[in-house]
Homo-oligomer: A and B are copies of this chain.
Amino acid sequence: MALRFALLALLTAQPMTGYDVTKAFRSSVGHVWHAPDSQIYPELRRMESEGLLAARAIPWGPRSTKTEYTVTADGEAALRAWMTTPVDYPVDRDPAHLRVAYLEFADDATARRVLEEHAAHYRTQRAQHAQQLASIRDRSHPILSARLARADLADHDRIVAVKALAYEGMIARDDAEIAWATRALDVLGV
């Protein structure tokens, strides 16, 4: 269900073709809610058939067309309604913590590798999140720019603020994971 609202939220920035959605998804909302292209295209069609999106064929080259989707009034209403529903927190399912909880079954070298890879994984994530955050803050992020261009000027700061907050939260979590792995290496002495 969340995918639908991620797509809806993305498309409020501007109308886009399915292909543009897949690209824009990866560089924005996909950081908080990943989905492969093979899930996006069918979902867009379902959303169109349910009236949340309007589809328009636009010419592409001499004898082809592509489909551009626009959020309908119903779509925006659905997005606003979703905002008032409680967030449903996923149950805990964390492969890294599961692994660490049973590291007694690994030798020291393996334990070290697991923890170093954990830190490395979150350092990579952190770098990506930090880059996103920077482009949100200076408003150079392409999707954000498009969104701001269509938004009321009075809302710009709030729009930037919430997006920055989302990425700051991810970064805080990344930092917690890096610190934890570092400390674990120390505690276990591996």
User: Which 4 residue pairs of A and B lie closest in terms of their CB atoms, listed nearest first?
Assistant: A34-B91, A101-B166, A83-B106, A103-B162
20 A-B pairs whose Cβ atoms sit less than 8 Å apart in the complex: A9-B105, A29-B98, A79-B102, A79-B105, A80-B106, A83-B103, A83-B105, A87-B95, A89-B95, A89-B121, A90-B95, A94-B170, A97-B170, A98-B166, A102-B162, A103-B162, A165-B187, A169-B177, A172-B176, A173-B177
Specify how many copies of this chain sit in the oligomer.
2
Which residues of A, 85-135, contact B by the 8 Å Cβ criterion? 86-106, 110, 114, 117-118, 121
A159 within 8 A of B: yes
Bound complex: CA A12 to CA B89 (Å): 30
Q: Is the CB of B100 within 8 A of A162?
A: yes
Bound complex: CA A118 to CA B88 (Å): 10
Q: Is the CB of B92 within 8 A of A96?
A: no
Q: Which of B2, B104, B159, B169 contacts A180 (CB 8 A)?
A: B169
Q: Which of under 10, 10 to 19, 20 to 34, or 35 or more describes the interface residues of A?
A: 35 or more
Q: Summarize A's interface: helix, strand, loop or mixed.
A: helix
Which residues of A, 48-101, contact B by the 8 Å Cβ criterion? 76, 79-80, 83-84, 86-101
Residue of B nearest to A125 (CB): B92
User: In the complex where A87-B96, A90-B95, A95-B88 touch, is A101 in contact with B162 (Cβ < 8 A)?
Assistant: yes
Q: Is the CB of A162 within 8 A of B188?
A: yes
A32 within 8 A of B: yes
CB distance from A130 to the nearest CB of B (A): 15
Bound complex: CA A177 to CA B169 (Å): 7
